[in-house]
């Protein structure tokens, strides 16, 4: 396993659309393993492949509480097939260190994806898991949380990221 570098805004790869995975290979499984390790080390609850510079339709999520057993979920070629309701959730993002913002999302989702063995599964989710699925799926489509807010909030998020990156360098 290896920790991967997480790209930060405004890296251009973050705005790129990821390509479908044609086959779940050992290379994809290794990517997932490295992404999970990177997400846990960050620490975060989700990570999309383009956040680590890989333009493949893959993301990992674990919304288990810190003191609970890990509940890693892997989504390969995810597709949100149903959305319902609405909620506003304060979101952060590993590609936007130091920033968080209220984002409007669907309250519940149903997602269809492949697992690590290449088998199709469907999952219905609500709460934080639904938010994380939508957030990471947006990444695969080149959509960032900053794209979901108005001009003033965009400036605020940009300042927060710049400040966090400057503090990390010091």
Task: Report which of 92, 85, 104, 7 is spatially closest to residue 45, judged by C-alpha positions.
Answer: 92
Question: How many Å apart are CA 105 and CA 98, to the nearest integer?
Answer: 21
Of the candidates 33, 122, 136, 167, the residue annotated as catalytic is: 136
Task: Report which of 152, 155, 107 is spatially closest to residue 128, judged by C-alpha positions.
Answer: 107
Two tokens at 164?
A: 């966090």
Active site residue 33: no
Active site residues: 136
């Amino acid at each position: 396993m290896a920790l991967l570098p997480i790209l930060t805004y405004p890296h251009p790869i973050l705005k790129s659309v990821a390509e479908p995975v044609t086959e779940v290979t050992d290379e994809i499984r290794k990517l997932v393993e490295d992404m999970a390790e990177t997400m846990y080390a960050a620490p975060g609850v989700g990570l999309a492949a383009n956040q680590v510079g890989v333009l493949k339709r893959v993301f990992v999520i674990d919304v288990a509480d810190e003191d609970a057993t890990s509940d890693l979920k892997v989504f390969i070629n995810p597709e949100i097939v149903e959305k319902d309701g609405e909620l506003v959730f304060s979101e952060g993002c590993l590609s936007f260190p130091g920033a968080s913002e209220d984002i409007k999302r669907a309250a519940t989702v149903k997602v269809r994806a492949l697992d690590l063995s290449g088998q199709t599964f469907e999952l219905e989710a609500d709460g934080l898991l639904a938010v994380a699925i939508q957030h990471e799926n947006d990444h695969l489509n080149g959509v960032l949380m900053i794209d979901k807010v108005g001009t003033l909030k965009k400036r605020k998020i940009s300042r927060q990221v710049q400040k966090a990156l400057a503090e990390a360098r010091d």
